[in-house]
Amino acid sequence: MGRWGIVTFATVAAVVTACSPSAADDAAGDETTTSTTRTPRITDDSGRPPVTFDPCYDIPDDVMNAAGYDAAKKEIADMPMGTYTFLGCAYEGTISVPGVLARYDLLVLAGNVTLDEELKRNGHVAESVQINGRPALVEVDPNARDTCRYVLQTTFGIVGLIRIYHKDHPGAVPQDEWCAGVLDLATTLEPFIQD
């Protein structure tokens, strides 16, 4: 099975295509407001469905700002792979967590691999959940320190939220804190997934 970029944020960083906030905003202003009428920025030759949800354009900036991520600094993070495609958007943010203020990186990826493929690939660290009634996985891999992944099923494939917690204190972040607040974020973003 092919490798896709939900493994770690570091993997994605190697293939990120940066876009200035004004360029992303200008491009979004030129497009229609629903992803179902937008031509996908990237397609592949796999015969898989086109990715119809574009995280940088289909998630409103005010929603991300309210969630603690600076939408003015978002960057396009696409991954054209030939046999599958991921459209991505990278954010930095500082979110208040009870008793602590922490810095996070967040990557939202929409790809045309299936939830079953993701489960086969990461089933050893995945737990099945529902996000607003949508089938999903939560993945906490002890080898991907300080990282939490939520992967939601769509008609074209999956949308993944990958968050890295950058600790601001000495010592390890307890594993049970890696996903603090990510379920709430996934629940907030799920209604914007057009499929």
Report the pLDDT value the prediction gives residue 53, as an integer from 0 to 100. Answer: 93
In tens, the pLDDT along 55-87 reads 999 999 999 999 989 999 999 987 766 788 899
126: closest CA among 154, 153, 105?
A: 153
In tens, the pLDDT along 30-63 reads 444 443 456 666 666 678 898 989 999 999 999 9
